[in-house]
Amino acid sequence: QLETLEQEEQECLELRPYPTEKTTHIVSHEHGMTVTKTLQEGEAQPQYQGFSYSRAKLRGLLLEGASLLLLRVLARRQTMPPDLVFPAINTEGDLCTSSY
């Protein structure tokens, strides 16, 4: 049983005149997961957004690292179970589904 304990994603856009940096930090805790998003545009003050999800909503959650591992296992087995769908968190930090 694999479980994601922490994950951080960082995206930098070098757009002129205001470079933009987006960071998403996901941390597992006793009651579920907390997602913290940071947006830094140029010299402006960073904008923060945070929210949490309960363990019940996250049952079977497949984050980016686990998704890559699953794809490697499926490729090695050369098989794809029908209707393979997992809960996931999209780039906005919202719950969604990931289908294979």
pLDDT one-digit tens code per residue, 22-31: 999 999 999 9
Please state the φ and ψ torsions of residue 24, each to the nearest 5 degrees: -125, 125
Chain center to CA of 79: 25
Residues near 99 by beta carbon (within 8 Å), at least 6 away in sequence:
84, 85
Question: Residue type at 45?
Answer: Q
pLDDT at 85 over 90: no
pLDDT at 83 over 90: no
- Nearest-angstrom CA–CA distance, 53 and 34: 6
